Structure 1
Amino acid sequence: MANLYEGKMAAIYDAMYQTFVNYDEEYLFYNTLLQENKCSSILEIGSGTGNLTKRFLADNQNYQGLDYSESMIAIAKEKNKNATFISGDMRDFKLANPVDSILITGRSTSYLITNDDINRTFESIYKNLKENGVVIFDFIDANRFIPFTKENPVIIHEAQFENTNYIRESHWDTNNLLENFMLEWTAQYYIIKNGEKEILENDFSTVRVFTLNEIQLFLYLNNFEILKTIDRETYAYDTYVVVARKKIIV
Structure 2
Amino acid sequence: MANLYDGKMAAIFDAMYQTFIDYDEEYHFYNSLIQEKNCKTILEIGSGTGNLAKRFQENNQDYIGLDYSQSMIAIAKERNKNGTFIHGDMRDFELEKPVDCILITGRSTSYLITNEDINNTFESIHKNLNKDGVLIFDFIDANRFIPFTKENEIIIHEAEYDSIKYYRNSNWKTTSSENFMLEWTAQYYTLKNDEKEIIADDFSTVRIFTLNEIQLFLYLNDFEIIRTIDRKTYAYDTFVIVARQK
Tell me by how many angstroms 1:153 deviates: 1.6
| 2:150 paired residue number | 150
| 1:133 paired residue number | 133
Question: For residue 187 of structure 1, what is the amino acid of its counterpart?
Answer: A
Distance 2:49 2:130 in 1: 27
| 1:173 paired residue number | 173
Post-superposition CA distance 1:178-227 (Å, at most 9, x none): 54100000000001111111000000000000000000000000000101
| 1:246 paired residue number | 245
Q: Which runs of 5+ in 2 are unaligned?
A: none
| 1:209 paired residue number | 208
| 2:60 paired residue number | 60
| 2:220 paired residue number | 221
Distance 1:70 1:28 in 2: 27
| 1:235 paired residue number | 234
| 1:187 paired residue number | 186
Distance 1:201 1:153 in 2: 20
For 1:1-80, list aligned pairs within 5 A.
1-80=1-80
Number of residue pairs the alignment of both structures matches: 246
Distance 1:45 1:177 in 2: 26
Secondary structure at 1:215's aligned position in 2?
A: helix
Secondary structure at 1:180's aligned position in 2?
A: coil
Distance 1:117 1:177 in 2: 17
Distance 1:126 1:149 in 2: 34
| 1:110 paired residue number | 110
Distance 2:177 2:16 in 1: 29
Distance 2:205 2:36 in 1: 35
Post-superposition CA distance 1:150-195 (Å, at most 9, x none): 1112100000000100000001113x43541000000000011111
Distance 2:173 2:141 in 1: 17
Distance 1:24 1:216 in 2: 29
Question: For residue 183 of structure 2, what is the amino acid of its counterpart?
Answer: E
Q: Kindly report the root-mean-square deviation, in angstroms, between the aligned alpha carbons of the 2 structures.
A: 0.7
State the TM-score, normalizing by the size of structure 2. 0.99
1:83 aligns with 2:83: yes
Q: Which runs of 5+ in 1 are unaligned?
A: none
Secondary structure at 2:42's aligned position in 1?
A: strand
- Identity among equivalent positions (%) equals 75
Tell me by how many angstroms 1:139 deviates: 0.1
Which structure 1 residue ranges, 4+ long, deviate > 3 Å from structure 2? 176-179
Distance 1:222 1:236 in 2: 30
Distance 2:218 2:65 in 1: 22
Secondary structure at 2:35's aligned position in 1?
A: helix
Tell me by how many angstroms 1:6 deviates: 0.3
